[in-house]
Structure 1
Amino acid sequence: MFRFRLFCLLVLCTVAVGSRVAPVSAAEPDDPWPGLVQDIFNNRPMNDGSSVLAIEMPYRAEDAAIVPVTLRSKLAPDDKRSLKTITLVIDQNPAPMAAKFELGPDARVSEISTRVRVNSYTNVHAVAELSDGQLYMVKTFVKASGGCSAPAAKNVAEAQNHLGRMKYRQFARADQGPTNGVREAQIMVGHPNNSGLQMDQITHLYIPAFFIDELRLWQDNSPILSMQGGISISEDPNIRFTYVSNGAKTFRAEAKDTSGHVFQKEWKVDESGS
């Protein structure tokens, strides 16, 4: 009888130790990407984009409300194809399609940087459509949370005072000629870009979604790029990009928001690039 009890005790100990060593794993969360491919891209085939496009984001974001992201073309100079659009998708965000950039046919945009909100740990996909009609996808993973519901940096009055205010900057590059060549520029638009998930700290009511949903840029009358934006673009949208100058004398921007406001401004291009 003693030996039987000892045997049972040893069996129970073995099971207990085994359960600690190899616990039952938790179910993996559902991957939203297949559904997003259907909803955003109509289930079009996705090719490996590692030789076409690069996406750069911090693995762990310092501030989930202003996470930097850079999209960079990797097409070789002798590649006959060109970038037509780039779509940025933050898989786990409430509205996953953060932005769709349409590139001017003659501007040869090769790099776009902006800032986005990230609501939870997520894959981020960038999908390029090339002139061959194919889609090419790359992805990265970002650890961040709460970006879509983070309080605005400006109060309501301050945000209204800056509403639609545009700034344009041009940066010098070593490969830039006096009137043409590669240019690097930045456009900034004052706007709260409310996500609809932020709470008013005084009334404790949710602030309605209110954001820039369209931005267009030209050199003279030639399109450089346009953006269809959503709630994932950070407060005061900021787009930095490279393009090839056609010798234009002016740079022009137009932005529209979800309340029907239209903001427009034009600047003279500094040929020195400074």
Structure 2
Amino acid sequence: MGIEPARAGAWRTDDFRSTDFASAFAALFDGQAITESDGLQISLPEIAENGAVVPLTIDSTLSGIDKLYVWVENNPTPLAAQFDLSPNLLPFVTARVKMAESGYLRVIARQGKNWLQTRKWVTVVQGGCGSG
């Protein structure tokens, strides 16, 4: 399955349904090669006092990035956000995400036909998805 060109502009509500991380991730990327990249930077606190409002900034000096996905691996709905970007601009996104519990926040970026990722562990003191 994977990401097909016909889906590129479509809003996929199924991608945001509650499920476990491994199943949701596999359904969206279908075994596509995803490479670790130090060209993607994510800034967020190492310790989040309140998981309901965890500030996040994603930026990169890599050109050609047209899509970003934000995954919170231990959330009931692990896909937290999807951003469609112009590949002519350098990506810079700031947002707040909810984190139910401590775990990895992972960012996946599409750069042409390549998929890149980076992730960071966040310790959540008080959960933000009803588990606090």
Partner in structure 2 of residue 116 of structure 1: 97
1:33 and 1:134 map into 2 onto residues whose CA distance is 21
Change (3 A) 1:73 1:43: same
Cα deviation digits, residues 217-273 of structure 1 (max 9, x gap)? xxxxxxxxxxxxxxxxxxxxxxxxxxxxxxxxxxxxxxxxxxxxxxxxxxxxxxxxx
For residues 78 and 22 of structure 2, the distance between their equivalents in structure 1, rounded to whole angstroms, comes to: 13
Q: How far apart are residue 43 of structure 1 and its match? A: 1.8
Q: 1:150 to 1:33 in 2, by over 3 A?
A: closer
Distance 2:116 2:87 in 1: 18
- Report how far residue 35 of structure 1 moved: 4.0
Unpaired runs of 5+ residues, structure 2, are 1-19
In the alignment, which residue of structure 2 is the partner of 1:70? 57
Distance 1:115 1:70, change over 3 A: same
Match of 1:56 in 2: 43
In structure 2, relative to structure 1, the CA distance for the partners of 1:143 and 1:45 (3 Å cut) is same
Normalised to the residue count of structure 1, the TM-score between the two structures is 0.38
Equivalenced residue count is 112
Please report how far the alpha carbon of residue 42 of structure 1 lies from its aligned counterpart in structure 2 after TM superposition: 1.7
Aligned to 1:126: 107
Deviations 1:119-175 (A, max 9, x none): 0111110000002x1100100001114201279xxxxxxxxxxxxxxxxxxxxxxxx
Q: Is the 8 A contact 1:37 1:44 kept in 2?
A: no
Return the offset for 1:113.
0.5
What percent of counterpart residues are identical? Answer: 24
Q: CA RMSD in A?
A: 2.0
Q: Is the 8 Å Cα contact of residues 65 and 148 (structure 1) preserved in structure 2?
A: yes
- What residue identity is the alignment partner of 2:127? G
CA contact (8 A) 2:21 2:78 kept: no
Unaligned ranges ≥5, structure 1: 1-31, 76-80, 152-274
Q: By how many angstroms is 1:39 displaced?
A: 2.2
Structure 1 residues 33 and 96 mapped into 2: Cα distance closer, same or farther (>3 Å)? closer
Structure with larger Rg = 1
Residue 142 (1) aligns with residue 122 (2): yes
TM-score (norm. length: structure 2): 0.76
Superposed counterparts of 1:126-205, under 5 Å: 126-131=107-112, 133-144=113-124, 145-149=126-130
Q: Which structure 2 residues correspond to residues 15-94 of structure 1 after superposition, within 5 A?
A: 34-50=22-38, 52-75=39-62, 81-94=63-76
Alignment partner of 1:40: what SS? Answer: helix
Match of 1:143, SS state, is: strand
Report deviation, 1:105: 4.1
